[in-house]
Structure 1
Amino acid sequence: MLCAAGELRELEGDPNLVVVDCRAALGNPLYGRERYLAGHIPGAVFADLDVDLADPPGPRGRHPLPSRERFRETLRRLGVSNRSRLVAYDDRDCMFAARFWWMVRWAGHGRVSLLDGGFAAWLASGGQPSTDPEPPREGKFELGEPLTKQVSVHDVQRGGHVLVDARTDERFRGRVEPIDHTAGHIPGATCLPFQGNVAEDGKFVRRSPRFKSLENADNVVCYCGSGVTAAHNIFAMVLAGLSEPALYPGSWSEWIEDPSRPVGRC
């Protein structure tokens, strides 16, 4: 699941290796590509959060999932084939790379890892960035059975799930809302901010005790603002040895599109 910077260095030259730069910043759609062009891991290709990993914002939320068929074409454009070993990274804590990890597995491909500590860890290990864009290459990826679970807004409304919110405590409580038009949370949810999944150096905490209360829980569903950092919690839970929870892709930004849906604040 995790790839250390030194391990990635040992994989250089592997013809099946595809390194994917997933750097992004919410509210700044140009950030990721600008960072990629300013310097990236040599040979890495760039996946744009807003263009490649989501459909345009709308009633399904700020980062609705594209169709699996459209994502298949994205993977092919990135040079991915069914034999590829993928390693995804972003700036530091894999906040955005985790979304890519989840989506690749949703497409039926299990050979995908996150670069522990991200680009910062790779630089700290002595990596020398490249400013040369990777030339286009065409993969031959075919979809497989999803290796993930997801639920719809209607599933959430029906209840019976253990909801885990990955946003900050302040957003969960409804005290601040810097992005969406309504503050609060889905009633009944528990707040476990994704930032708690990593140490100060941005590397994942293995077998984190923060999920102990969920060890025997059924029907766990992770959500956040738009289905991005919820994938980070899913990754961390699997890393901790829990059964993989489901993702609610639309998350809070879809939930509040219907004013009749209840809003929790505390």
Structure 2
Amino acid sequence: MKIAVPCTESDLDGSVAPKLGTAKYVLLIDSNDMSFEVLDGPPKDVGSGAGVSIISLAANNDAQALLVGYAAPHIVNAMKGKSLKIVTGVKGKVRDAVQAYLIKNSVGSDGRVEQSSILGWRELWISAFRKGLRQFYQLLPKLAGVIMLLGLFRGFISEKDLFALFSGSAVQDSILGATVGSVLVGNPVNSYVIGDSLLNAGVNLSGIIALMMAWVTVGVIQLPAESAALGIRFAVVRNLCGFVMAVVMSLLVTSWGGLF
């Protein structure tokens, strides 16, 4: 396979370019014997189009991988599924970078690059941890808004108001309990305290069970944050399933309890 490496020197001892647009040369390296062809990088007057020029140069010369320090995410995403794979986060000498890439990847009989198990769990965990931190940082403002909104709901709706909502009908109380629990989402400890208070006040057990289940599985208020993290379709379907299951399970538990 051919590997394209934008670099600062015209040999394998040169450094991998930190960005596509800063490459003075592009080496086309044959992974079988490490032989290479030197191509000139784009002229300086190309400006912001230098990165695209290098990608086109590598693709036109049948390169299957391009190793570089950094490439804009939208460019990397645009090349996914194409014959040329852009690998970022690469640094050091060209020779070492290519050898490291070949160690981490294997070439199948059809010429396609397949990820090798030698990649190791350590790198996978580090990558997942970084992505998780990045996503949490992006969601932090929305999560803060969710917490403050929950505080307002709990401040305005007292336990007496909750007691007055339940009629004594198992089906009605289950639906109502699931609805209230969906809005007043919180941690399990709070649901236990409210559930105990409702039970002592004589509220139907089905409503309490539905409320406690929906409290920890459904989140209407946090739906925007969940949609941003996991997608609107997943968030809506998950919450609807949680609501239905809260109602169904509360009715099943109270029905079985009555049999015994």
Q: Is the TM value for this pair above 0.5? A: no
Structure with more relative contact order (C-alpha pairs < 8 Å, separation 6 or more): 1
Higher helix share: 2
TM-score under structure 1 length normalisation: 0.25
TM-score under structure 2 length normalisation: 0.25
